[in-house]
């Protein structure tokens, strides 16, 4: 198809890579959908999404509806007569009225190997589960949650010490490259999607701050995954004197003869905390409102050895 009309829907940094790939490969969207500006920072100033910022720089019209269930919004999208709607981490549900608008359907750039890890936080879920690989899928959207047929996917190994932030950046680039490479064939109908095997589906719900709390009764290997999965958002944390301390970097060690949560060592080599199985060596920590520091700097300020967290 010559000069297909594309609408792009996305909000966070992950989606910017896909939008940029569309622009650079000649599929400049006729409009971009992104979530409304949100309060951010200490001043709680209304802040545009990364997708909006990029779209404005590219002089692409931006739409920011609070919902896609509004009849006027649906009519506005219909009036654009798109051939396809490309979605990457948009954050709003597309109702059937919107899914039915483009003749080539709605295409989702999803950061997992579907049907594993459908839902809002597939990158974090893969790390938490100890998966050795994950990837990106280009999926045809339908009413179900990430249940549509998959056009193409690409798998990658998860590094032993890789954080969600590191993996996010890699997968964003892979998804963008897949999109640029295959979008033309998808629009033309030259690429056939395959149905997912729903019996192998697993779900990755939206992350809450409470999910990131460290429970020292758990095995150290699980807690290390938690630290990696919640870096950079929301940050794995534990309480110290009623102060929430975030943990950004850790390693697993052999077990020690101490109750879970006991600090058995603290210095430049790290802060060692006994766990339900094994021990966690913490390398980087952060107090509220302060910068992250090394374990050596933190332990020089706070007497930790022998304390139970």
Residue 172 belongs to a domain with what CATH number? 3.40.50.170
**Would you put residue 280 in left (φ > 0), alpha (ψ -120 to 50) or beta?**
beta
Looking at the fold, whether 159 and 10 belong to one and the same domain comes out as yes
User: Which residue range(s) make up the domain with 35?
Assistant: 6-204
What pTM, to 2 d.p., does this model score?
A: 0.94
| Inter-residue contact 128 to 207 (CB < 8 Å) | no
pLDDT (tens digit, 0 to 9) for every residue of the chain, 309 residues total?
A: 678 999 999 999 999 999 999 999 999 999 999 999 998 777 788 899 999 999 999 999 999 999 999 999 999 999 999 999 999 999 999 999 999 999 999 999 999 999 999 999 999 999 999 999 999 999 999 988 999 999 999 999 999 999 999 999 999 999 999 999 999 999 999 999 999 999 999 999 999 999 999 999 999 999 999 999 999 999 999 999 899 999 999 999 987 889 999 999 999 999 999 999 999 999 999 999 899 999 999 999 888 998 999
Looking at the fold, whether 181 and 262 belong to one and the same domain comes out as no
Looking at the fold, whether 199 and 68 belong to one and the same domain comes out as yes
pLDDT of residue 3: 84
Q: Which of 204, 227, 242 is the last residue of a domain?
A: 204
Structural domains of the chain, count = 2
Q: Which of 185, 204, 223 is the last residue of a domain?
A: 204
pLDDT of residue 130: 97
Looking at the fold, whether 165 and 228 belong to one and the same domain comes out as no
Residue 240 lies in a domain: yes
Residue 308 lies in a domain: no
pLDDT of residue 1: 63
pLDDT of residue 24: 96
């Amino acid at each position: 198809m010559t000069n297909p009309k594309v609408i792009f829907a996305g909000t966070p940094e992950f989606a910017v890579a896909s939008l940029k790939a569309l622009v650079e490969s000649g599929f400049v969207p006729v409009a971009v959908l992104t979530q409304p500006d949100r309060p951010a920072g200490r001043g709680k100033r209304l802040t545009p999404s990364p997708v909006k910022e990029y779209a404005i720089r590219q002089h692409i019209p931006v739409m920011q509806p609070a919902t896609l269930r509004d009849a006027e919004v649906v009519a506005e999208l219909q009036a654009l007569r798109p051939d396809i709607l490309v979605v990457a981490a948009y954050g709003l549900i597309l109702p059937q009225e919107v899914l039915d608008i483009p003749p080539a359907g709605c295409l989702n750039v999803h950061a997992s190997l579907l049907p594993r890890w459908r839902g809002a936080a597939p990158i974090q879920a893969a790390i938490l589960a100890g998966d050795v690989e994950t990837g990106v899928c280009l999926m045809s959207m339908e009413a179900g949650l990430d249940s549509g047929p998959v056009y193409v996917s690409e798998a990658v190994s998860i590094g032993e010490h890789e954080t969600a932030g590191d993996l996010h950046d890699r997968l964003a680039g892979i998804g963008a490259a897949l999109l640029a490479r295959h979008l033309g064939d998808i629009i033309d109908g030259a690429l056939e999607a395959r149905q997912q095997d729903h019996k192998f589906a697993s779900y990755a719900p939206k992350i809450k701050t409470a999910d990131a709390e460290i429970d020292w009764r758990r095995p150290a290997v699980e807690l290390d995954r938690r630290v990696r999965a919640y870096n950079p958002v929301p940050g794995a944390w534990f309480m110290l004197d009623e102060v929430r301390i975030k943990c950004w970097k850790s390693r697993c060690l052999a077990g020690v003869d101490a109750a879970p949560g006991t600090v058995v060592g603290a210095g430049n080599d790290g802060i060692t905390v006994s766990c339900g199985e094994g021990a966690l060596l913490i390398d980087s920590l952060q107090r509220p409102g302060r910068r992250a520091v090394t374990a050596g700097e933190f332990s020089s300020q706070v007497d930790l050895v022998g304390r139970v967290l």
